Structure 1
């Protein structure tokens, strides 16, 4: 007799508890786990695994893994394994405080990599063999295919490549997700690659389910736990000002004939500023929009529900608890307007370029020449990672980066002479936006960019100092193409480390 969510008779007999499933994972293995920005990660096996690691540590036995995911997960996975000393290598993106602290203390090797590169690196063999995949799903079909849950991420790749597979069937995930996914199996390794037949964000080019040989599934674990997702604060005045500047820029581009009233497919990073920009599009009277992005968060769900966005393609849902309730209550509508894909599709350079995406991402800081740091504090301390911003910045029709002009109560200027770490160089950055204004850097030389960024984006408390730096660099540097005073270029960051403020 089969289980309601586990319709494959053979796999129904492999139901075990999380502790038994975790026994399949041994020290030193490479484990591909589901999960993308707090959605669709395994809930039980990682915690059972962490308990084994703690017990091994008490016996003086090392027990650590190479952990590969789609993006960030949650405390039940990243936090639990990091706290147990059970991760010796991690990619591609993380946001857990415990994991981050151990990375920055040098206890865990961390590879910060473009999200669109992970699957192909795995297929190329650059990441080594994948021993076990631990994947959350909403259900198992009679033929063994898997109904994906709230994220797809790299699940297809881990299922294709792993020697053994552990499946968590989460009863908390709505069965209405069935049919929302599009899993494309047409990729190949060079030189056998062929064009991906996707022309519009809503095109379905694959199938709704994940494939895996049932013989490789060694354990099935049932869970009933929600994704652990945070709530988003209402946009503050700074976020609203940033959003207004960007929306007005879109209007300018429409008047110039470079965009239509429907814009182009939107890509939006995660966070309060991103939600504010999306709200600004709705307040600005836009309609008939589409999205080709990585994550659907509250602001985008609002636009889909209201009809401002008619179709959205992503790889994960990252919704606050109230938004989850709305999503489940109206899942029939959302299943018609949302397509969830593997991240090798959602972040694919060819598709981003072909569709002409408008990329809108946050940053830590930008320098006067348009180089952007998205990941590090003072050059050395990782925050979360580059995520998918580079996939879109390099390949999109427009590459926009947004941030408040100051941080830490004004002690930090986010516009600096030289960024302390480069994630997106000046060649991949079109527009920089703060609450002070917007700098359109297209078609400008380095010196022209510097003048635009200082005049339009810098906070008044720092504008004169930036202008002074630029003027002296222009007069005193060895080269006049991109003038810098190398002895001072990073002095603002050093001053902050020494005194707690960038102010002179």
Structure 2
């Protein structure tokens, strides 16, 4: 039997392919736009036919009908990272959450700590050798493919065939579904004057030849937009987005001076425009790898001058970052922030930046606080923190005492809050 015969044998409608799922299964779905819409729509339609099925994913992009508080006994979402589609359910308690470091999810799957009974994923068309590319999200999905009872792929001609360790052979697949809808596009966030000011502070500290990890959000993208005068930057990141594509097209990113995998742009998932997805297709300079490779601090840190840029919601005067919850209420997840902060700390000449506006809610609340709000999930610890940047300046905390940290952070707080922060720091015996 040829690979094309095998393909045709496994090809079926989405409504039939979801019957690979059994009661009690956990379905692993890739990050972001790697989620397969035809399969998840079919699962939603049939959700009342199942019992105790869970769907686990980082950053769900669409609110499918199965994300429904009335049918959680049938199919329930279990978030590895909250996004707009799942945040309200997480805060209300009918969507569950598995705390994790992004880099360690594959190991948790391999050890059976996170079950992986079935995989649902978008995939590129099959190549001449019988391989599909999971280019939009290799992340933890490749570990799940190796362990799952059933792998179900939604094959779409708009999904790029990327290089790297992101390929699945037709012989590994239980069922195939075809779709041709455009891959979901995610544009660059809106960037205002505060984000631009923060971006300028960070950009001034990035040297030619640095290797970048860029987190998701307006401030990291504001940094990217101000790097067009740099030379020979490299990319070793988790998310490949349009901001990075802009630097590649401008000739700013060459990857020539990377110590580890020179000449290659490295990522674990893609989130951007059709232009980005087309750029990735069979591009020998771009590789998509599992997240336990891209986000491993020991591997990423092999690059000299590794720069990690990530955002937080709140930071206390010791440098503890609450990046994923508003008090007890979940907002996002740890993701790869801690992975890359530690990687930059390991890197020779590395710099880890945590960025945030100094205030929230129309300048009525300081994001720099004496102590984190009760219940806040700590994402980056006081022991890992390095640079903190607001629109008012840069605080470098690594190696600094508690007193020095408080002084540095108060200096970059909004001026309206500095006197109160100083008084509260004195009461806490930090000053």
- Does TM-score exceed 0.5, indicating one fold? yes
Q: Tell me what 1:303 maps to.
A: 247
Structure 2 residue 238 is the aligned partner of structure 1 residue 288: no
Residue 249 (structure 1) aligned to one of 187, 192, 205: 205
- Number of the residue aligned with 1:363: 312
CA deviations over 1:39-75 (Å, ceiling 9, x no partner) = 222121111111111x44xxxxx63423233x21321
In structure 2, the CA distance between the partners of 1:143 and 1:248, relative to structure 1 (3 Å rule), is closer
1:408 aligns with 2:361: yes
Q: 1:358, CA displacement in angstroms?
A: 1.4
Q: Is the 8 A contact 1:159 1:212 kept in 2?
A: no
Distance 2:316 2:280 in 1: 43
Q: Could you tell me whether the CA contact under 8 Å between 1:167 and 1:217 is conserved in 2? A: yes
> Cα distance, 1:213 vs. partner?
6.7
* Offset at residue 233 of structure 1 (A): 4.0
CA contact (8 A) 2:158 2:182 kept: yes
After TM superposition, the score normalised by the length of structure 1 is 0.77
Q: Which residue number in structure 2 is paired with residue 266 of structure 1?
A: 212
Task: Identify the residue that residue 347 of structure 2 maps to in structure 1.
Answer: none
1:87 CA displacement: 4.5
Q: Which residue of 2 aligns with 1:163?
A: 149
Counterparts of 1:293 and 1:150, CA distance in 2 = 14
Q: Which of 393, 402, 412 is the equivalent residue of 1:446?
A: 402
User: Would you say how many aligned residue pairs link Structure 1 and Structure 2?
Assistant: 410
- Tell me by how many angstroms 1:277 deviates: 0.1
Mapped pair 1:94 → 2:49: no
After alignment, is 392-401 or 435-444 more displaced? 392-401
Q: Does residue 1:235 correspond to 2:185, yes or no?
A: no
1:331 CA drift (Å)? 5.5
Instruction: From the superposition, tell whether residues 87 and 445 of structure 1 become closer, same or farther in structure 2 (CA, over 3 Å).
Output: farther
Write the distance in 2 (CA, Å) between the matches of 1:303 and 1:247: 13
Secondary structure of the structure 2 residue equivalent to 1:19: helix
Change (3 A) 1:118 1:327: closer
Once residues 262 and 46 of structure 1 are traced to their aligned partners in structure 2, the CA distance between those partners, rounded to angstroms, is 42
Deviations for 1:394-429, whole angstroms, at most 9, x for unmatched residues?
232322100111111112211011113221111111
**1:111/1:293 CA distance change after superposition, 3 Å:** same
Q: Which moved more, 1:78-87 or 1:22-31?
A: 78-87
Q: Confirm or deny: 8 A CA contact 1:144 1:213 kept in the other structure.
A: yes
Deviation at 1:112, TM superposition (A): 2.5
- 8 Å Cα contact 2:318-2:405 kept in structure 1: yes
Q: Is the helix fraction higher in 1 or 2?
A: 1
**Judging changes above 3 Å, is the alpha-carbon distance between structure 1 residues 331 and 48 closer, same or farther for their aligned structure 2 residues?**
closer
Q: CA deviation at 1:273?
A: 1.0
User: In the superposition, relative to structure 1, how do residues 234 and 74 fare at CA in structure 2: closer, same or farther (>3 Å)?
Assistant: closer
2:105 maps to 118
- Superposition deviation, residue 13 in structure 1: 1.9
TM-score normalized with structure 2 length: 0.89
Do the aligned partners of 1:433 and 1:439 also contact (CA within 8 Å) in 2? Answer: yes
CA contact (8 A) 1:310 1:337 kept: no
Task: Name the SS for the 2:28 alignment partner.
Answer: strand
Q: Distance in 2 between matches of 1:443 and 1:105?
A: 40
Q: Secondary structure at the match of 1:309?
A: coil
Structure 1 residue runs of 5 or longer lacking an equivalent are 57-61, 184-208, 251-259, 475-481, 484-504
Q: Distance in 1 between matches of 2:247 and 2:405?
A: 34
> How far apart, CA to CA, are the structure 2 residues paired with 1:365 and 1:388?
17
Distance 2:277 2:42 in 1: 30
The one of 386, 389, 399 aligned to 2:352: 399
Query: 1:376 is matched with which residue?
Result: 325
Determine whether 1:223 maps to 2:219: no
**Secondary structure of 1:167 counterpart:** strand
Whole-Å Cα distance in 1 between the matches of residues 336 and 123 of structure 2? 23
Deviation of 1:159 (Å)? 1.1
Q: What per-residue deviation string (whole Å, max 9, x for no partner) do you get for residues 359-411 of structure 1?
A: 1100001111111010010x200011111111111232322100111111112
Cα RMSD of the aligned pairs, angstroms, is 2.2
TM-aligned CA distance change 1:26 to 1:376, over 3 Å: same
CA distance in 1, matches of 2:230, 2:89: 44
State whether structure 2 residue 28 is matched by structure 1 residue 32.
yes
Aligned residue among 412, 419, 432 for 2:372: 419
